[in-house]
């Protein structure tokens, strides 16, 4: 383990951060931004998320069996970038245009028509979207999170989610980033302060325990 990461984890442990939130009673599965622009290594925005996609598909299969809410997100903008705000200065958002292939979900996820797709503009899946309405209607209290990137959209979504009172459960094997350092540090931060970082095995056991 990296020395600095170990130091960070030791600080959190010493200060008694990172107590488990645990699952609630009514979960949803939220798949964040597994779109072609990010899952295609040839894309300027892309990385190899094949490992994370594999585990996300396993979770999707079980979630569909149990009939729990499944929600996907993408990030996309008007061609003139009028809805990108100041964020377009920081990131190459000009590659993410509404109606183009890069902003489509990775086809291996096989999204169904009754599974909502939220188009967001910024990092958090909650900011400026109707996600909270979808969750409230279904009386969801627990959000199982997969997707990318850990340091950006995953972290922002988890912070907003816990702020709204949801139990945020981040599946370690099903989230990823373009760089390992930001991925690991973000997972450590999330687990210390905002949600539970859990294994895919724990997530699957919970889903299998549900009654349809």
User: For 103-126, how does the pLDDT look when each residue is reduced to its tens digit (9 = 90+)?
Assistant: 999 999 999 999 999 999 999 999
Q: Which CATH superfamily is domain 25-209 in?
A: Isochorismatase-like (3.40.50.850)
Active site residue 153: yes
Mean pLDDT of 17-28: 94
Quick count: other Cβ atoms within 10 Å of Cβ 181? Answer: 12
pLDDT in the model for residue 25: 97
- The share of the chain scoring above pLDDT 70, in percent, equals 100
Phi-psi region of 16 (alpha: psi -120 to 50; beta: other; left: phi over 0): left
pLDDT in the model for residue 1: 64
**Which of the residues 9, 153, 184, 198 is marked catalytic?**
153
CA of 166: how far to CAs of 4, 139, 160, 162, 204, in Å?
30, 11, 9, 5, 19
Phi, psi torsion values for 117, nearest 5 degrees: -115, 115
Q: Give the least confident one: 1-10, 32-41, 161-170.
A: 1-10
pLDDT in the model for residue 89: 87
Question: pLDDT by residue (tens digit) across 41-90?
Answer: 999 999 999 999 999 999 999 999 999 999 999 999 999 999 988 988 88
The CA distance from 60 to 141, in Å, is 18
Mean pLDDT of the chain: 95
Task: Output DSSP code: residue 129.
Answer: S
Quick count: other Cβ atoms within 10 Å of Cβ 38? Answer: 26
């Amino acid at each position: 383990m990296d020395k600095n990461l170990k130091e960070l984890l030791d600080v959190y442990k010493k200060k008694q951060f990172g107590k488990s939130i645990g699952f609630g009673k009514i979960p949803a599965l939220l798949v964040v931004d597994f779109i072609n622009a990010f899952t295609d290594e040839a894309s300027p925005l892309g990385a190899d998320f094949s490992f994370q996609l594999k585990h996300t598909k396993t979770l999707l299969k079980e979630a569909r069996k149990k009939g729990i809410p499944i929600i996907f997100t993408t990030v996309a903008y008007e061609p003139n970038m009028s809805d990108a705000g100041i964020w377009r200065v920081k990131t190459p958002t000009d590659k993410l245009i509404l109606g183009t292939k890069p902003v489509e979900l990775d086809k291996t996820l096989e999204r169904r028509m009754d599974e909502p797709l939220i188009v967001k503009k910024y990092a958090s899946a909650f900011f400026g979207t109707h996600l909270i309405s979808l969750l409230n209607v279904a009386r969801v209290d627990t959000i199982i999170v997969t997707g990318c990137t850990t340091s950006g959209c995953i972290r922002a979504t988890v912070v907003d989610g816990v702020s709204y009172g949801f139990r945020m459960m981040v599946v370690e094997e099903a989230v990823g980033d373009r760089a390992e350092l930001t991925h690991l540090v973000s997972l450590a931060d999330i687990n210390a302060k905002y949600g539970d970082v859990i294994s895919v095995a724990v997530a699957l056991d919970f889903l299998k325990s549900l009654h349809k």
